Amino acid sequence: MNIQIDQKDFELLIEYDQIKKRIRLIGIQLEVDYEGRVPVFVGVLNGSFMFLGDLMKEVGISSEVTFIKVSSYEGDQSTGKIRKEIDLYMDLKDRDVIIVEDIVESGNTLKHVIDIIKEHNPASLNVCTLLLKPRKLNQDLEEITYVGFEIPNEFVIGYGLDYNGLGRNLKDIYRAEHVPTET
């Protein structure tokens, strides 16, 4: 199925049923890894809200949730400049922290968030991301522990990810269609 958002064409990449199954498996792994502990899930807004919401339904252990908002995108391109828009308002000292991301591409934004959280001296710090673009990653991020799907270096929307603010509400994930170039 193809869709159009803000005059840009997209094609289906990952169906919601696949997303739900993968999230259930991640939830099980988190329950095992954090048994007997009370982790804090830090959602990175805006994109992680759907993933974090569904993930929390699959995590049966006691846990807390908070958010941070940083941004670097305009349209479908990163500006390279990271802005903190909403700061953390929770004490994370000696806590087990799990950063929840919608997508990790270059890793620059995530590295920035990791550095912010490390200033709070957590007991442990791991990252759970729905999508990872391994070929675009230019940071060494050993904290990435839980990955839903590895995807090619393509622009994607849906399930919390947007294009010019649109498409976050789509339950499936779509990739931008390639426009053939003339030779």
Q: How far apart are CA 70 and CA 100, in angstroms?
A: 13
Residues designated catalytic: 105
User: Strand, coil or helix: what is 78?
Assistant: strand
Q: CB atoms < 10 A from the CB of 85, how many?
A: 10
User: Strand, coil or helix: what is 52?
Assistant: helix
User: Is the previous residue joined to 108 through a cis bond, with omega within 30 degrees of 0?
Assistant: no
Q: Is there a contact between 13 and 151 (Cβ–Cβ < 8 Å)?
A: yes
